[in-house]
């Protein structure tokens, strides 16, 4: 996994800007098609936080519904992965196996442990459990999942540090993830600072626009002027 490339200042700045604005800013640099780079609606922010999730992806696949006595490794390898990862890190788990709707990759003990080890969140197309326990014991932990189930099944994690696809978003180890109540996206590491500058410009534009909407100067002509190409 690549070492972190961002300064603490850049990471802090990313945490101060909402994910949709970061997504809009990335579009200006034409580094990817507008229809790529973000997860679909299956990946839900379960605990909206005051600040977005920002972290480097560590990846694996998992299956908690595999029956029988022969199963891949459990949580111990995940612990080693988080310890070795650049921080802040986000655990990304792609559901594998035949019963994705019943898969459960984390509960309150898992999130509390991973938070203590330096993970700031989990992104998975599987499920979680212990909703109230997670909220109570790990109130700052970011969880993006498909939903909730009551049982953990048998926690099996494997294919560590591999390319995964979660909610239509392809994620590689070390990718920079940004997420809030609107969803999760990837931020290209090589344009983070320009993206931050553009995002600040866009926030200022939005501030002026909403001021216009609330003012007595509002007119269709003024709206068209503000949105005219520059």
pLDDT in tens, 121-174: 999 999 999 999 999 999 999 999 999 999 888 767 888 999 999 999 999 999
Burial of 204 (0-12, 13-18, 19+ CB in 10 A): exposed
Is the sign of the CA dihedral 34, 36, 40, 44 positive or negative? negative
Read off the tokens for 227: 């949105």
Read off the tokens for 11: 């990471």
Q: Domain 8-190's class?
A: alpha beta
In the predicted structure, residue 189 carries a pLDDT above the cut 90: yes
Contacts of 147 (CB under 8 A, 6+ apart): 44, 127, 128
Indicate the angle between helix axes 192-214 and 220-227, nearest 10 degrees: 170
Beta carbons within 10 angstroms of residue 154's beta carbon = 16
Q: Are 194 and 204 in contact (CB under 8 A)?
A: no
Cα–Cα distances in angstroms (integers) from residue 61 to residues 73, 112, 204, 218, in the given order = 11, 21, 41, 52
pLDDT at 86: 94
Q: How far apart are CA 135 and CA 15, in angstroms?
A: 20
Extents of the domains making up the chain? 8-190
The residue assigned the tokens 């600072």 is 193
pLDDT in tens, 69-93: 655 556 788 899 999 999 999 999 9
pTM to 2 decimals?
0.92
pLDDT at 68: 65
If DSSP codes are grouped into helix, strand and coil, which group holds residue 201? helix
pLDDT in tens, 13-60: 999 999 999 999 999 999 999 999 999 999 999 999 999 999 999 999
């Amino acid at each position: 996994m690549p070492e972190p490339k961002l300064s603490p200042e850049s990471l802090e700045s990313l945490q101060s800007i909402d994910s949709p604005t970061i997504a809009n800013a990335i579009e200006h640099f034409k580094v990817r098609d507008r229809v790529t780079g973000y997860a679909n609606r299956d990946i839900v922010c379960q605990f909206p936080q005051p600040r977005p999730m920002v972290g480097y992806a560590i990846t694996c696949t998992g299956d908690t519904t595999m029956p029988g006595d022969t199963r891949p490794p459990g949580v111990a390898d995940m612990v080693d992965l988080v310890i070795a990862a650049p921080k802040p890190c986000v655990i990304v788990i792609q559901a594998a196996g035949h019963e994705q709707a019943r898969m459960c990759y984390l509960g309150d003990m898992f999130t509390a442990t991973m938070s203590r080890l330096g993970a700031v969140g989990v992104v998975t197309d599987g499920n979680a459990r212990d909703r109230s326990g997670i909220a109570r014991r790990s109130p700052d932990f970011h969880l993006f999942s498909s939903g909730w189930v009551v049982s953990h099944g048998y926690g099996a994690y494997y294919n560590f540090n591999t390319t995964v696809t979660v909610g239509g978003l392809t994620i590689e180890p070390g990718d920079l993830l940004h997420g809030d109540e609107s969803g999760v996206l990837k931020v290209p590491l090589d344009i983070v600072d320009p993206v931050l500058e553009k995002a600040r410009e866009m926030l200022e534009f939005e501030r002026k626009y909403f001021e216009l909407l609330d003012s007595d100067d509002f007119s269709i002509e003024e709206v068209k002027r503000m949105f005219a190409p520059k």
